[in-house]
Structure 1
């Protein structure tokens, strides 16, 4: 699979070949689904909490005698059946995070990149560098590449403060390094903008 390489002016200057062993395999949608669910589960706060009958204040006294009132039996005003009572089987704080094997994560990343490349949603540029942080320069670059106004992930080979600061005020644009990349981040936005060096690091 070959992908065109553009410069910051939007001109096609080269083509880059994706590793056929990694990106040429059939796209594993089931694996992608499993990995995305894992990343979403790991992001959950898990702080939802309710009080049980034992934890709600009050309810120590029996509301009325057991027999001879003609009413249903009641042992506490904090029963889950009563208004203001505890919650039966409600949520408690818990850790939802889990992991999948490293090979599965890597395979899912390759499948995600191949999927975006197949759908023409992956754009490779020769380089993205700015002398000073300038949002307008980043907006102009996205505009000439035809992706301004869409959700976009910019992937660079290493941390670059100028690139990050230039993109942080643009809505729906996120900057990541290639080492932090995963299948979830690749599948989330509409467009992926990779530098040539970042793509080579992934390969």
Structure 2
């Protein structure tokens, strides 16, 4: 059975006025079901990111071997039709690894429950900012660092910081890309792995609206 949980975040705008933003999340009452959905969604995400590049050639793909090595009868040796037989050195490979793209499926509702559960559980480690507009002529890492200083967040204390924005513009990306422990992601692409890794989550006000609608 699912229930509706409400989270109210406080944030300050550019005029230092304290505002609130409320989102509603549908999560399961059963903790075992919560962990099951998170596990399934994480496994699905990790599986779909796998590609096996190892590739061996079968006897039909190995070059050469068109001529019969010796006649069929009268030599006293075993019959041989091609030097590219898997029994021969330099021949094809039997049941060798092939290129493969791994795919798995998870129900949409399970994935939504997993993400909602993680957002709810990490509400205490979530900070909301009014916006993330960078209006300088050139993107600068210094500007990105100033944002964390204003929030009184020492980024050196955290291994993984998740920054959720409504739109990943070139200026925002260029400003934050040199900070190694920050993952920049759009709200529409929020996923289980990023939420699990994050020690602290910073969300813009517009991103919360997108998450609430999703």
| TM-score, normalised by the number of residues in structure 1 | 0.72
User: Is 1:44–2:50 an aligned residue pair?
Assistant: yes
- Whether the 8 Å CA contact 2:160–2:181 is kept in 1: the answer is yes
1:14, CA displacement in angstroms?
A: 6.2
Match of residue 135 from structure 1: 141
1:33-65 Cα deviation digits (max 9, x unpaired)? 222222233333454421012211234434798
Give ranges in structure 1 of 5+ residues lacking alignment: none
Q: Which runs of 4+ in 1 moved over 6 A?
A: 63-67
Map Cα deviations across residues 57-88 of structure 1 (whole Å, 9 max, x no partner): 2344347988746xxx5735434455433222
Distance of 1:139 and 1:109 partners within structure 2: 28
**1:158/1:88 Cα in 2 relative to 1: closer, same or farther (>3 Å)?**
same
* Structure 1 position 124 matched with structure 2 position 133: no
| Number of equivalent positions | 195
Alignment of 1:24-63 (within 5 A): 25-26=29-30, 28-60=34-66, 61-62=68-69
C-alpha contact (below 8 Å) 1:62/1:74 kept by paired residues: no
Q: Which range moved further: 183-192 or 193-202? A: 183-192
What is the distance in 2 between the residues matched to 1:43 and 1:65?
50
In the alignment, the residues of structure 2 paired with residue 14 and residue 25 of structure 1 have an alpha-carbon distance, to the nearest angstrom, of 30
Q: Partner of 1:158: helix, strand, or coil? A: coil
Note the C-alpha offset of 1:181: 1.7
TM-superposed CA distance for 1:29, in Å, is 1.9
Determine the structure 2 residue equivalent to 1:171: 180
- Partners of 1:63 and 1:77 within 8 A in 2: no
| In 2, Cα distance between equivalents of 1:175 and 1:25 | 31
Structure (1 or 2) with the greater strand fraction:
2
- TM-score by structure 2 length? 0.69
Shift, 1:154, TM fit: 0.9
The Cα shift of 1:167 comes to 0.8
| Cα distance change of structure 1 residues 199 and 147 upon mapping to structure 2, 3 Å threshold | farther
User: Tell me, what secondary structure is at the counterpart of 1:22?
Assistant: strand
Structure 2: which 5+ residue stretches go unaligned? 1-5
CA RMSD of aligned residues (A): 3.5
The partner residue of 1:111 within 117, 120, 127 is 117
Does 2:149 correspond to 1:145?
Answer: no
SS in 2 for 1:106: helix
